[in-house]
Amino acid sequence: MKKFTKVLALVFALAILLTACQGATTTTDEVSDFAYVQEKDELIIGMTLFAPMNYYEGEELVGFETEFAKVVAEKLGVEAKFVEIDWNTKEVELAAKSIDCIWNGMTITPERSEAMSISTPYMANKQVMVAKAENAEAYTTADALEGIVLVAEAESAGESVAMEDEFFSKASYTAVDSQAKALMEVSSGTAGACVVDYVASIGMIGEGTDYEDLVVVATEEFSPEQYGIAFRKGSDITEKVNVAIAELAEDGTLEAIAKKYKLVDLLEF
């Protein structure tokens, strides 16, 4: 009986030890999002290409968001690494850890705030309709847009406006995979108009750009909004980035970057 009791005690002790080990493993595995980024020494930034936010000059990636992200990453003590993504699957990429944040003129919405952790707003924006200059005066009513092909980037604020605003109710909407593609479709004549970020229109159309024949149709503006940076839900990186942004706003760095890209009037600081 004593022998059985000793065996039982030994089994019980081993069970306690195993439980403790499992508890230690769980604690170790629950690494913070910031610790995860620190360990790999890089913040992987999901973005799409559109001026003046992220675009190439030769082989160099430049733009407001590019420079903004680099100085924030420097404050966090990690390197900013930029990855071009499909905007339609950005939340999936973020959750899968293919990227660590979405930093590309992303409109803050209640749905996104529910699904992800979003930084303090840093820039104001709105949606605008872009068309060829020769059509701008004609495209002023819903009736005038009847039957025209209207495009916007899939899963964007522009798409929401194109699909939901009464002004576009008689147009024929088609999604494309980027704002740059939307502008290209209008310029080539395969679409009559597109809905894009006002910020995108600043850097991508008009004199000195690839789309000199395109203009913002000034009679209509849609969906006032704010830009934010999205991280994984519950991420502890968000607050650290918020602190960094506040410091960069305070010392004038953010304003200096915005001035380079003609965006200073849109800053939310």
Report the pLDDT value the prediction gives residue 219, as an integer from 0 to 100: 75
Mean pLDDT of 48-60: 94
What six digits make up the tokens of 141? 């009513």
Residues 26, 31: Cα–Cα separation, whole Å: 9
Mean pLDDT of 223-243: 97
Q: Does 2 have pLDDT greater than 50?
A: no
Q: Which helix (H) or strand (E) holds 202?
A: helix 198-204
Q: Does 74 have pLDDT greater than 50?
A: yes
Report the pLDDT value the prediction gives residue 140, as an integer from 0 to 100: 93
Could you tell me which of 264, 2, 245 has the C-alpha nearest to residue 103?
Answer: 245
Question: DSSP letters along 50-69, please?
Answer: BTTTBEEETTEEESHHHHHH
Q: Does 10 have pLDDT greater than 70?
A: no
| Residue 177: alpha-carbon gap to chain centroid | 14
With b meaning 16 or more CB within 10 Å and e meaning fewer, what string describes 213-251?
ebbbbeebebbebbbbbbbbbebebbebbeebbeebbee
Mean pLDDT of 225-241: 97
% of the chain surpassing 70 pLDDT? 89
Q: Are 131 and 192 in contact (CB under 8 A)?
A: yes
Report the pLDDT value the prediction gives residue 220, as an integer from 0 to 100: 81
Helix (H, G, I), strand (E, B) or coil at 151: strand
Q: Are 165 and 221 in contact (CB under 8 A)?
A: no
Q: Which residue has the tokens 């990227």?
A: 99
Q: What is the pLDDT of residues 112-134, one digit of tens each?
A: 999 999 999 999 999 999 999 99
Q: What is the mean pLDDT of the chain?
A: 89
Is residue 30 very low, low, confident or very high in pLDDT (cuts 50, 70, 90)? low
% of the chain surpassing 90 pLDDT? 85
Could you tell me which of 122, 92, 95 has the C-alpha nearest to residue 106?
Answer: 122
- Taking the C-alpha atoms of 112, 87, 72 and 198 in order, what is their torsion angle to the nearest 10 degrees? -90
Helix (H, G, I), strand (E, B) or coil at 209: coil
86: which residues sit within 8 A by CB, 6+ positions away? Answer: 93, 177
Residues 194, 134: Cα–Cα separation, whole Å: 15
Report the pLDDT value the prediction gives residue 29, as an integer from 0 to 100: 43
Q: Are 192 and 214 in contact (CB under 8 A)?
A: no
